[in-house]
Chains A and B, each alone.
Chain A
Amino acid sequence: MANNDTTTDTPIESTSKVDLTGPKYWRSLEELVDSDAFQEEVTREFPRLAIPLAGGVDRRRFLQLMGASMALGGAAACTRQPLEKIVPYVRQPEQRIPGRPDFYATAATLGGYAAGILIESHEGRPTKVEGNPEHPASLGAVDLRTQASVLDLYDPDRSQTLTHLGRIRTWESFVDALSTNLGAQASTGGAGLRILTGSITSPSLAAQLASTLERFPQAKWYQYESATRRSATLGASVAAGQPAEVHYALADADVLLSLDADFLTQGPGSVRYAKDFGRRRKAFDSKVEMNRLYCLESAPTNTGSIADHRLSRTPAQIEKLALALAAKLGVAGASAAASSNLDDAAKHWIDVVAKDLQSHRGRCAVLAGDQMSPELHTLVVGINQQLGNLGSTVHLTEPIAARPADDLADLRALVKELEGGQVQVLMMFGVNPVYDAPADLDFASALQNPTTTFKVHHGARADETAPYCQWHIPATHYLEAWGDARAFDGTTTLQQPLIEPLYGAKSAHEVLAVVLGTPGIPGADLVHDHWIGQLGSEKAWRRAVHDGVIAGSAARALTVAGINSGSAATAIASRPLPSGLELAIRPDPTVWDGRFANNGWLQECPKPISKLTWDNALLISPRTAAAQNLQSGDLVRIESGDRTLEMAVHVQPGHADGVVTAHLGYGRTRAGRVGNELGFDVGSLRTSDTFWGAPVTLTKVGTGYPLASTQEHFSMENRHLVREASVEHYREHPHFAHEVAHEFGPEMSMFPPHPYEGNAWGMAINLSACTGCNACVVACQSENNIAVVGKEQVIAGREMHWLRIDQYFTGEDFGDVEGMVNLPVPCQQCENAPCELVCPVAATVHSDEGLNDMVYNRCVGTRYCSNNCPYKVRRFNFFKYQDFVTPSLKLQRNPDVTVRFRGVMEKCTYCVQRISQARIAAGREDRAVLDGDVVTACQQACPTEAIAFGNINDPEAEVTRWKQQDLNYSLLSDLNTRPRTTYLARINNPNPALEDHA
């Protein structure tokens, strides 16, 4: 029903203004009059009061607000907690049942690329992100950053007012000032106008920008992304001889090779890739032929953790190995001499991989990481072409970005123009170059050139760049504005708002409309009118908004005469292998390039493999650390050229020797109360020449930096926690998972087993598919109102995640990691639950559907249950971790889940609120709850479909089918706790040729 075409969807409007901005009282009815003079006065006097009024009030709204103000008239007393009256709907929208959430399709973007999502909305409050099953980049799943992005909407540190030199101004005064300045530009054709944006794929925004450039032909539009995909797009374009981009269709890929590409969790296509990959990791399903993943990487990643074969080498070595592979495959220009200075193990490895790839021509794929060089990307297109993959598993298409750009060239040009005094008007949209531009460009001082007299910063928060600009315009969150964007394969995705802007922010569309001389057109109309023009009919538009996607809008495949990868091969061949230590710079696995720095969920989300939170430590391999005499927590001075940075070290098993990895996104100074002054600003080491890496030297300068890790011990201690085998072994010994530990049948008890009639909920987790990407962890946090506790509390061992991903390394010692395994551990919902036995007040009890329920109201907090839980999945509120004060954060919470007070225990409930909702719905329709009616938050988010949930009494249910497999085992089965959560043992698909070598 998400098809409203004017301002916003109907369900939202009637309550949003009343309760979305915290306590506020009407002083007089005149306040509601939409007068500029009055608003300006109010804004100066009472900034908070002015915010909700800044949006404009139509007649109907005026009447509603009058009703509200009457109701609230007596409420303006000086109490800390004001009396709040519930204002019923003046007109209740049809089909709206209070208490039941609605779902709307929309789009979240990162680096310009769209993720297709559904938003759960409770009475007009968007609370949770889910995947959009109709969207090709999602197929119903969602990654952790998108999952967490809903929290940014309610971030209390978002800018709430438009400012000029730090003073609050109205939108109209900005429009006047901008129009005046642009008027001065008109005579020169906009020669002094520059626009800097992030990577833009939005067709409507691109159209506006194109019109802008038509109006001001001398003006320039630049794009810059800190975590740019420049290498990939430049590389593909060189290979194709024209602007091009590559994406993959991994469903058909039998053999995959990753060249330092964390493609399962990073990049615009990662969710879809993980879906396709995960569907090929069901070893128990005879219809599924398992794929095989080779992973060549520098720092251990999620992708590496699920690989069948993983080899860690430095990025430079990886390029050389790719060249050796190209030579083996006969890619033009790649010479056999390429591998001369590589070690034997790596050479053998790449030989085996080459053979395997060759024997799967057209059904394999080679992927390069976005942080590798453009030349490697060109070469990889050549390799894929040589393997016959182009057109089957690898798609070479026209570029997705509206105007393909080289971020670095753009930024260099802009800085030069700024320094040269050629820029009078600079408008920056959604970028923060003062923080994230390469350090050598010194964007901050370029911005201070006095000839640039009119600088506008349009952003969600007053970040590091904002103080350098006269004007700061609060930008809308994607859930507040109309827009559109294209997904990794080019599919156009419509972004509809779920709520009116909380703080009177403006979308980029609306600001550009001012540039185009048409201020005042609502963003809704701008996007709508653009698409009516494209789609032709209102009906098609409504359909597209409802689905979230415009059908058939995927990028056109390119037909190219030939792939030109020879020059790239030569370039790689001529690069010397660095002799010293290399630094690899990477986007952070959680906070990305720093834009999510103020997002508590992402800060506290344990980073994959290292399990660090709240920091970006320098990752170093155990051997390199030993050679440098370093330990985790030591502080080192990193010297790269004439730039230095002091940074804490984390010794990371599985990391390649000879390289250290540092992640972007930290060391921010104006991110907000959560993200300020955390970690280390790796950007200060980064120059435009050493964008993703540089030779460095390390000097130890200190010790004892506190790193907050959620896991301290990474060995399984010979306990059969993750049971794994090769697919051959599994075929020969299907029962292998049960041969390592005691298992008990019901005969172990004197009592007959408890009969569960009706529903009996159970979960199974396929360890062959889990990449440890954390999407489930953040989904759980979002669904269940789980508190963020902060770095000190994580160090104290008090993180609150109900669901965690345990990480173990296999192999003889941590210097030589053989493999990595991920073990997601939610509550096991034991039938013989040790926690229930010991609770003195019956606060944790068993439901008749087999859930181990937690009764928060009854809990007195003895913590005995947690002590007695062998899985340690219970979490205790040692302090009042929940923010009961900040008004905006209250809006985010799921109203179906209790917000826990201090002193009580909490834990995974299998999303019992969702079970109840399904039960009620089924009851109303007088039917049983069907398989698929209940989808837990973790299951919904999982990009690899590694989680099955349902009624284990239903023989047809997916979860029952999984649990019937030989692979199904219980964690710590020898305790006879009889968990309802079980695991399907991990099956790897190793290449026997490499096994022999080992």
Chain B
Amino acid sequence: MSVIQDGGYNRPGIIEKPPVLAPGHTSGSVTERISEVITRGTPKWFYPAFGFSFLLLMVLIFSIAKLVFEGTGIWGLNVPVGWGFAIINFVWWIGIGHAGTLISAILLLLRQEWRTSINRFAEAMTLFAVACAGIFPLIHVGRPWLAYWLLPYPNTMGMWPQFRSPLVWDVFAVSTYATVSLLFWYVGLIPDLATLRDRSENKLAKIIYGMTALGWRNSARHWHEHEVVSLLLAGIATPLVLSVHSVVSFDFAVGLIPGWHATIFPPYFVAGAIFAGFAMVLILTIPLRSVFGLEDFITQRHLENMGKVMLATGLIVAYGYGVEIFMAWYSGNPFEWFVVTNRITGPYRWHWATLILCNVVVPQSLWIKPLRTSALALWIISMFVTVGMWMERFIIVITSLHRDFLPSSWGMYHGTIWDWAIYVGTIGLFLSLLFLFIRFVPMISIFEMRTLTPEARKVAEGHSKEHH
């Protein structure tokens, strides 16, 4: 326990993990450092950064307006390729969200304390990613004004949705996921909102933080109930990590199109989601921690751990690719085998090569510890993975559809400027929300970080000794 007590530093001869909190911090300093990001006032760089994100958000709104007024035809879709960027982006964003849930729920239950400093941020990322993802199922339909027909609600038509369709399962999976993620995030925020309420000097900020803190008074009873709710929500969220992307994968696996119709899809999609999610967490935290000087809280240990998760899930994904190819050959199904050869040698071969480079080849560098612990290297690798995971969904959606059973119907798909505009626009939405988040809400959980300080450790140890 002594290792933890002094943060693991200055103990020659013992190979130790880097700490999850830099030494020398107390409850007070943790609170001060994290909340001053907000209370200190708006940094100068914030305006151009947020402005740029907001501009992209306007691109999104304009593109969606054009889409609704003119029709799905502004995209590059056709017959046979009935799904394109919208579904690719939907799956991509949903996948990115998965890291947050994994960090906040599964790692909480597994008592991985290194998660503490990144979980708030990752949860927020989940929420915003789901918000971006959720746009696509609504707008990708031909008549978006009727998309609510996918919901089971009492109506004069006397119609239920068609419950055998994976798209209906998607509605349930994604709406549940969004709800639980929001609750989890908000419940976790309450003690910190109270801290901000108490520290704010601005009247308006006091009122707003005060309202959102829901009357938190730091009483033992509050803490107890908070703990219970957090654990319960973690319990509820845990299966979602597995279920949401499994359901999303059913959109494809239930279809009979070669390249879609595969039982490996659920696990391989979940692994891919976590892979992509951690990559996105790294992409965002690495610059932020240096901009806000939060290296004390998001340490090298965090980065390395996330690198390891990426390596592990990346290997699962690579295994998935391998099994897909193997099964296509082993099944002896000529249609399946054609899809594989067409992906590798057909008109989209460069997309496939990019996918393999980004998702299989580049992540292998994470075996090398100096790279795994270098913020810059991790950031670059994560960028590769993010591109690669987008490309994976492109390969799955497009190359399976563009050449299916009847060669007469074969065609090509190319994203149009509006496909790209909406995609880039959702990145704008994501970044806008993210900037608002880091500006107004503590991006690292203050109250949880306090539990990592040496003083808190002592108290905790004292408690556990009393129990024994």
**B73→A840 contact, CB < 8 A:** no
B77, CB-defined interface residue at 8 Å: yes
- A:866-920 near B, CB below 8 Å: 866-868, 870-872, 874-880, 901-905
Q: How many residues on the B side are at the interface (Cβ–Cβ under 8 A)?
A: 50
> Which residue among A804, A862, A867, A871 has the maximum number of chain B CB atoms within 10 Å of its CB?
A867
A814 at the interface (CB under 8 A from B): no
A823 within 8 A of B: yes
Is A863 interfacial (CB-CB < 8 Å)? Answer: yes
Q: Which residues of A contact B404 (CB under 8 A)?
A: 870, 872
Q: Are B141 and A861 in contact (CB under 8 A)?
A: yes
Interface size class of A (residues with CB under 8 A): 35 or more
Cβ 8 A contact of A838, one of B71, B80, B149, B255: B255
Report whether A903 and B410 are in contact in the complex, using a CB–CB cutoff of 8 Å: no
Interface membership of chain B positions 146-162, coded 1 if the CB is closer than 8 angstroms to chain A and 0 otherwise: 11011000000101111
CA distance in complex: A995, B407 (Å) = 28
Chain B 337-348 interface 0/1 with A at a Cβ cutoff of 8 Å (1 = within): 010000000000
Contacting residues, chain A, for B77 (C-beta < 8 A): 863, 876, 878
If A834-B256, A841-B162, A876-B79 touch, whether A904 touches B410 (CB-CB below 8 Å) is no
Q: Which of A415-423, A641-649, A709-717 contacts B (4 or more CB under 8 A)?
A: A709-717
**CB-based contact B408/A878 at 8 Å:** no
A842 engages B161 (CB within 8 Å): yes
> In the assembled complex, which residues on chain B have CB atoms less than 8 Å from the CB atom of A880?
71
Interface residues of B in 44-70 (CB under 8 A from A): 70
Q: Cβ of A42 < 8 Å from any Cβ of B? A: no
Once bound together, how far apart are the Cα atoms of A864 and B140, in whole Å? 11
Q: Which residue of A lies closest to B160 (CB)?
A: A842
Nearest Cβ distance between residue A972 and chain B, in whole angstroms?
A: 6
Query: Are A872 and B147 in contact (CB-based, < 8 A)?
Result: no
Give the most central of A715, A834, A858, A903: most B CB within 10 Å: A903
Q: Are A902 and B71 in contact (CB under 8 A)?
A: yes
B406 — which chain A residues lie within 8 A by C-beta? Answer: 719, 721, 806, 825, 870-872, 971-972
Q: Do the beta carbons of A870 and B405 come within 8 Å of each other?
A: yes
In the complex, A837 has a CB within 8 A of chain B = yes
User: Which of B163-171, B178-186, B433-441 contacts the other chain?
Assistant: B163-171
Cβ-defined contact, B255 with A902, below 8 A: no
Q: Is A867's CB under 8 angstroms from B83's CB?
A: yes
A712-B411, A879-B70 known; A860 vs B405 contact (CB < 8 Å): no
Q: Report the minimal beta-carbon distance from A875 to chain B, rounded to whole angstroms.
A: 6
* B143 in contact with A859 (CB, 8 Å): yes
C-alpha spacing A824/B193, complex, angstroms: 67
Chain B residues positioned under 8 Å from A975 (CB to CB): 256, 405
Residues of A within 8 A of B401 (CB): 867
| Residues from chain A with Cβ under 8 Å of B157 in the complex | 858
Judging by beta carbons under 8 Å apart, are A834 and B255 in contact?
A: yes
Q: Smallest CB–CB gap between A708 and chain B, Å?
A: 12
Q: How far is the CA of A804 from the CA of B409 in the complex (A)?
A: 10
Verify B161–A840 contact, CB threshold 8 A.
yes
Binds B, one of A124-132, A663-671, A792-800: A792-800
A971 to B408, CA, bound (A): 13
Known: A838-B255, A879-B70. A860 touches B78 (CB 8 A): no
B254 within 8 A of A: yes
Neighbouring B residues of A972 by C-beta, 8 Å: 405-406
A905 to B82, CA, bound (A): 11
Task: Tell whether, in the assembled complex, residue B408 and residue A798 are in contact, meaning their CB atoms are under 8 Å apart.
Answer: no
CB-CB under 8 A for A903 and B411, given A839-B165, A841-B162? no
CB-nearest residue of chain A to B169? A840
A903, B405: Cβ atoms under 8 Å? Answer: no
Cβ-based interface call for B72 (8 A): yes
A187 contacts the other chain (Cβ, under 8 Å)? Answer: no
In Å, the complex CA distance between A866 and B165 comes to: 14
Q: Are B73 and A838 in contact (CB under 8 A)?
A: no
Distance of A691 Cα from B407 Cα, bound (Å): 38
Question: Across the interface, do B167 and A874 meet the contact criterion of CB distance under 8 Å?
Answer: no
Closest to A798 in B: B78
B408 near A823 (CB under 8 angstroms)?
A: yes
CA distance A77 to B255 in the complex (A): 54
Q: Considering the complex, which residues of chain A in the window 833-864 have a beta carbon less than 8 Å from any beta carbon of chain B? A: 834, 837-842, 858-864
**Bound form: Cα–Cα A719–B81 in Å:** 21
A 369-416 contacts with B by CB, 8 A = none
Question: Is chain B's binding surface mostly helix, strand, loop or mixed?
Answer: loop
Whether B407 contacts A713 by the Cβ 8 Å rule is: yes
Shortest Cβ distance from B83 into A: residue: A867
Tally of contacts, chain A with chain B, CB under 8 A = 169
Cα distance A721–B407 when bound, in Å? Answer: 10
In the bound complex, CA of A870 to CA of B258 (Å)? 10
Are A858 and B73 in touch, CB under 8 angstroms? no
- Counting CB contacts under 8 A, is B334 at the interface? yes
The minimal Cβ–Cβ distance linking B62 to chain A, given in whole angstroms, is: 19
Query: Which residues of chain B come closer than 8 Å to A902, judged between CB atoms?
Result: 71-73, 142-143
| A residues less than 8 Å from B167 (CB atoms) | 838, 840, 862, 864
What is the chain A residue whose CB lies nearest that of B81? A797
Q: Is B106 part of the binding interface, using a Cβ–Cβ cutoff of 8 Å?
A: no
Partner of A807, one of B160, B408, B410: B408
Whose C-beta in chain B lies nearest to the C-beta of A789? B73
Q: Is the CB of B408 within 8 A of A840?
A: no
CB atoms of B408 and A797 under 8 A apart: no
Distance to closest chain B CB from A730 (angstroms):
24
Most buried by A among B79, B150, B159: B79
**In the assembly, what is the distance between CA of A793 and CA of B83, in Å?**
17
Chain A residue numbers with a CB within 8 Å of B356 are none
Query: Contacts of A721 on B, CB cut-off 8 Å?
Result: 406-407
Confirm or deny: A81 has a beta carbon within 8 angstroms of a beta carbon on chain B. no
Q: Is B141 a contact partner of A719 (Cβ separation < 8 A)?
A: no
The reply on A718 being an interface residue by CB < 8 A is yes
Q: Could you tell me the distance between the alpha carbons of A721 and B412 in the complex, rounded to whole angstroms?
A: 22
Q: Does B257 count as interface, using CB distance less than 8 angstroms?
A: yes
A719 engages B83 (CB within 8 Å) = no
Is the CB of A808 closer than 8 A to any CB of chain B? yes
Residues on A with beta carbons closer than 8 Å to the beta carbon of B411: 712, 797
| Proximity bits, A104-143, B CB within 8 Å = 1, else 0 | 0000000000000000000000000000000000000000
Q: Which residues of B contact A798 (CB under 8 A)?
A: 73, 78-79
Interface string of A654-667 (1 = CB under 8 A from B): 00000000000000
CA–CA, A195 to B403, complex, Å? 57
Q: A713-B410, A860-B147, A903-B142 are in contact. List 13 more A-B contacts (CB 8 A).
A: A711-B409, A712-B410, A715-B407, A796-B73, A797-B81, A837-B165, A858-B159, A859-B143, A870-B256, A871-B409, A872-B404, A879-B71, A975-B256
**A-B contact list, 29 entries, CB within 8 Å:** A711-B408, A712-B410, A715-B407, A716-B407, A719-B407, A796-B73, A798-B79, A837-B164, A838-B254, A840-B161, A840-B165, A842-B161, A859-B143, A860-B142, A860-B149, A863-B83, A864-B82, A866-B79, A870-B256, A870-B257, A870-B405, A872-B404, A875-B79, A878-B77, A879-B72, A880-B71, A903-B72, A903-B142, A975-B405
Q: Which 8 A-B pairs have the closest CB atoms?
A: A861-B142, A903-B142, A797-B78, A878-B73, A863-B82, A806-B408, A872-B409, A840-B167
